[in-house]
Amino acid sequence: MCRFVESIQLKNGQFKRLEWHQARLEKALAEFYPNVPVFDLSEMLLQSSYPVVGLFKCRVVFDSEIRKIEFVPYQCREIRSLKLVETDIESRKYKFEDRTEFNTAFEQRGACDDILLVKNGFLTDTSYCNIALYDGTNWFTPHIPLLYGVNRAQLLAECKLIEKDVKTAELMNFQSVCLFNALIEFGDLKLEISSICP
C-alpha cells in the first residue's frame, strides 16, 4: 500500500495553499485508491488542535485515509551551496512518504549544503525544493521536476514562473537560483549560480 505526505505551511494559525494540497491529494487518491471517498483536508485540519502562533510544518500522512497529522515547528536550514548530482528518481505528481531515493542522493552532497539533482542532463530539484533560475528578466522552472510542488503550481498559475527545460551546460546563462517549497516562500532562499558545484 502506498502512503503519501502533504507538508502544509501553518503560519500564525493560517494554513497556506490548502486548495493546492487538496488537488494533489485528490490526484494520488484517484490513481492509487479510486474507490475511496475523497476526504477534505481543510475540514479535517480545522477540526484538529493546531498551534495558532508561530511557523509550523503540518505533516499529513495518508493512504486510503488520513493516518497521521502532526505539527512541527519549522525553521529553514541554511543553504549556501549546491552539489550537482545525477539521478534516475522518477518524476512524481505527489509526495510519497518514502524518501529513500532522495536521502541516498543527498548523501552525495560532499562539502555542499544540499544537492541539485540532474536527470538525463536536465536540472530538476534539490533534495526538498523546487527551483527557479533567473536570467536577468524572467524566472524559469524546470518543465519536468521530480516533484510537482504546490508552491510551484501556484506560481505557474499566477504566471510568475515560466516552464523551461534547462541543461546543466546552460547554467552560466543564469544569474541566480531560487529554492522554494510549501514551507519556503519564493524569493526567501536565493543563491548565486556560482554557488552550484559540479
Mean pLDDT by 10 residues, the chain (198 residues): 94 98 96 94 94 97 96 95 97 94 97 98 97 98 97 98 97 97 97 96
Task: Provide the mean pLDDT of the chain.
Answer: 96
pLDDT of residue 81: 98
- Looking at residue 147, its amino acid is L
Q: What is the pTM of this model?
A: 0.95
What percent of the chain clears pLDDT 90, i.e. is strictly above it? 98
Domains of the chain: 4-73 (3.30.470.10), 82-197 (3.20.10.10)
- Amino acid 183: pLDDT: 98
In this prediction, residue 103 carries a pLDDT of: 97
| Exposure class string for 160-195: b at 16+ Cβ within 10 A, else e | ebeebebeeeebeebebbbbbbbbbebeebebeeeb
For residues 4 and 113, give the distance between their C-alpha atoms in angstroms, rounded to a whole number.
26
What's the confidence (pLDDT) of residue 155? 98
**152-166 pLDDT, tens digit each:** 999 999 999 999 999
